[in-house]
């Protein structure tokens, strides 16, 4: 496989190091633009007033929480199939970042819920699915933490991630189902209230925040991966020869 | 630009700024944690190398 | 070479016979089940209508928890005495052996739970029709719990943190089964047909049987490395 050359930690480490500042810079710029457009330029929503602006952090975070889980699961699958070190490391690095986005989605969703529905928590389909997703992430991290050998830990967690990823659409579907069954018709309009009538000038900041979130993920995950690489490869020749270790 | 209006967000200030604030907190914390992890790794490696030196 | 089916059958028979010798392994989860169900009326009060509404969820959650408690012993004694390694290098596909082990586990855990349920549903004021649906939903659902649970059991072999860790891993994966299982009973209780719920439970079982043995086998190999 041609790409397994890049799967070598020794090649990855310096290349990632060069990319990180650029990715971080782009993230910052995009976030500032997105925030400006979302907080200053986008008009007030007819139904929800100013509180809808939470959408610009809530929706991208919810999306990232799912996206990162997919990356984690696919990376884990590659690690199990080809035993590539970097795939294992990528999967491990993803977990805390994905869990963070899930937490942001839950907290922002909860804070959005108070002005919208009058309550900090409602068992609506999206929040409930996000909560279960948080538990899946925590399970992944707990399993990794309880196995001493890092490679065995990564591979065990990869299996968990794969089982989880098959489960996620099932969980979503079942929670949607459960949600529509248990709500009296008047309250089911909750899920409709959650979607402000999208004005074009609201789409632009939303879109930009989506992209900014991706760049953020790239920055954070590469940073984390480099740290893990240093630890896992500490006995290898190229690590001991690194410039930054000569104090 | 009416700053008072901006910060109050039509009365929803605490929810909007709470969300944005929490988001900023978590995102920054993640970066700091990643940086810290690397610094710790470098420290361990340096210790390891000083132990190996007498050769 | 004896055919696959008879290999599975004899493995199940062996597992069941061994388990019957350690009867506390079978009885403890059942007693736990009964105690947990009794805790709820003590917690929320004896009002019959409230209990009847809560019954499907309570019974299902208690069944979930009881199953989870029993997951620890699915592979652990074989792991400790070395016979698990023999299983892994045996000339039979590990996935088949896993299916045999999980089936035996269900016979010793899930099935007794199902048998015990009518007694407990009386305690929670559930009527006959709803109880029938409950039994059906548990009959279809508990094997799925055993299959998904086997992945958690295999992943955590020999690890400290034991039972709690397995719960963290496995409970989120159990939520769809809980939703459809308890939902089926609620449907019957409100006069609606539970067929959709039960079919979905069946679909989940089919999925579990298809995919989890591979995951469990891989997890066992990783744990034994």
User: Does A231 score more than 80 pLDDT?
Assistant: yes
Chain A CB within 8 Å of residue C160 CB:
yes
C54 touches chain A (CB under 8 A): no
Is the pLDDT assigned to residue C197 strictly greater than 50?
yes
pLDDT tens track for A184-196: 543 444 444 455 5
Work out the percent of chain A whose per-residue pLDDT is above 70: 90
Above 60 in pLDDT, residue C167? yes
Over the stretch C49-69, which tens digit does the pLDDT of each residue have?
999 999 999 999 999 999 999
A235-240 long-range contacts (CB < 8 A, ≥24 apart) are: A236/A10, A238/A10, A239/B45, A240/B45, A240/B49
Nearest Cβ partner of C219 from A138, A156, A178?
Answer: A156
Contact A163 C183 (CB under 8 A): no
Q: Which residue in chain C is spatially nearest to A148 when comparing CA positions?
A: C159
pLDDT digits (tens), chain B, 55 positions: 677 777 887 778 889 999 999 999 999 999 999 999 999 999 998 888 888 766 5
Q: Is the ipTM of this complex over 0.85?
A: yes
Whether residue A163 lies within 8 A of chain C, CB to CB, comes out as yes
Distance from CA of A93 to the nearest CA of C (A): 19
Q: Look at chain C and report how many structural domains it folds into.
A: 1
Asked if residue A31 lies in contact with residue A212, where contact means CB atoms within 8 angstroms, the answer is yes
User: What does the pLDDT average to over A73-81?
Assistant: 95
Range of the domain at C104: 4-224
**Per-residue model confidence (pLDDT) at position C1:** 54
Task: Give A212→chain C minimum CA distance, Å.
Answer: 30
Q: Are C1 and C89 in contact (CB under 8 A)?
A: no
DSSP string, A20-74: HHHHHHHHHHHHHHHHHIIIIISPPBTTTBGGGGGHHHHHHHHHHHHHHHHHHHH
Checking if the pLDDT of C73 tops 90, the result is no
- Check A114 against B15: CB less than 8 A apart: yes
What secondary structure does DSSP assign to chain A, as a single string? -GGGGTTSHHHHHHHHHHHHHHHHHHHHHHHHHHHHIIIIISPPBTTTBGGGGGHHHHHHHHHHHHHHHHHHHHHHHHHHHH--HHHHHHHHHHHHHHHHHHHHHHHHHHHHHHHHHSSS----HHHHHHHHHHHHHHHHHHHHHT-SSHHHHHHHHHHHHHHHHHHHHHHHHHHHHHHHHHS-TTGGGHHHHTS----HHHHHHHHHHHHHHHHHHHHHHHHHHHHHHHHHTTTSHHHHT-GGG--
Alpha-carbon gap: A26 to the closest alpha carbon of chain C (Å)? 36
Cα nearest neighbour of A161 on chain C:
C169
Mean pLDDT of all residues in A30-47: 87
Quick one: average pLDDT of A155-179? 90
- Contact B47/A at CB under 8 A: no
Average pLDDT, whole number, for chain A?
87
Q: pLDDT-based confidence at C110, cuts 50/70/90?
A: very high
């Amino acid at each position: 496989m041609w790409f397994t050359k890049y799967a070598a930690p020794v090649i990855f480490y310096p290349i990632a190091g060069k990319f990180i500042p650029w990715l971080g810079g782009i993230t910052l710029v995009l976030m500032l633009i997105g925030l400006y457009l979302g907080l200053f330029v986008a008009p007030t929503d007819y139904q929800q007033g100013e509180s809808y602006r939470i959408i610009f952090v809530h929706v991208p975070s919810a999306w990232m929480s799912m996206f990162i889980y997919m990356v984690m699961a696919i990376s884990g699958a590659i690690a199990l199939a080809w035993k590539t070190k970097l795939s294992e490391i990528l999967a491990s690095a993803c977990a805390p970042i994905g869990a963070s986005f899930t937490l942001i989605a839950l907290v922002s969703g909860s804070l959005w819920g108070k002005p919208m529905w009058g309550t900090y928590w409602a068992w609506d389909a999206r929040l409930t699915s996000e909560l279960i997703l948080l538990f899946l992430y925590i399970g992944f991290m707990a399993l990794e933490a309880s196995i001493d050998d890092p490679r065995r830990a990564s591979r065990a967690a990869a299996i968990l991630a794969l089982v989880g990823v098959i489960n996620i659409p099932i969980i979503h579907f079942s929670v949607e189902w459960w949600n529509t069954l248990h709500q009296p018709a008047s309250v089911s309009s909750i899920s409709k209230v959650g979607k402000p009538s999208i004005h074009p000038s609201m789409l632009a900041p939303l879109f930009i925040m989506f992209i900014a979130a991706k760049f953020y993920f790239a920055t954070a995950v590469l940073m984390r991966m480099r740290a893990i690489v240093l630890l896992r490869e500490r006995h290898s020749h190229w690590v001991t020869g690194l410039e930054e270790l000569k104090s | 630009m009416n700053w008072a209006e901006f910060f109050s967000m039509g009365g929803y200030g605490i929810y909007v700024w709470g969300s944005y604030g929490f988001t900023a907190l978590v995102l920054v914390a993640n970066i700091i944690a990643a940086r810290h992890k690397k610094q710790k790794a470098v420290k361990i490696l340096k210790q390891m190398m000083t132990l190996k030196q007498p050769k | 070479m004896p055919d696959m089916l008879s290999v599975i059958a004899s493995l199940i028979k062996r597992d069941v016979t061994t388990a019957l010798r350690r009867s506390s392994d079978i009885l403890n989860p059942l007693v736990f089940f009964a105690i947990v169900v009794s805790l709820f009326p003590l917690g929320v009060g004896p009002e019959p209508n409230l209990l009847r509404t809560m019954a499907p969820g309570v019974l299902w959650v208690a069944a979930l928890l009881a199953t989870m408690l029993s997951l620890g012993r699915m592979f652990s004694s074989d792991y400790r005495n070395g016979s698990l390694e023999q299983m892994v290098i045996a000339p039979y596909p590990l996935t088949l052996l896993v299916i045999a082990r999980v089936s035996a586990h269900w016979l010793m855990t899930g099935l007794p739970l199902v048998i015990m349920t009518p007694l407990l549903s009386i305690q929670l004021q559930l009527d006959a029709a709803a109880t029938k649906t409950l039994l059906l939903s548990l009959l279809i659902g508990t094997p799925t719990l055993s299959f998904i649970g086997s992945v958690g059991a295999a992943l955590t072999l020999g690890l400290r943190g034991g039972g709690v860790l397995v719960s963290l891993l496995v409970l989120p994966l159990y939520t769809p089964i809980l939703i459809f299982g308890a939902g089926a009973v609620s449907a019957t209780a409100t006069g609606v047909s539970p067929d959709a719920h039960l079919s979905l439970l069946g679909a989940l079982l089919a999925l579990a049987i298809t995919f989890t043995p591979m995951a469990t086998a891989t997890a066992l190999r990783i744990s034994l490395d």
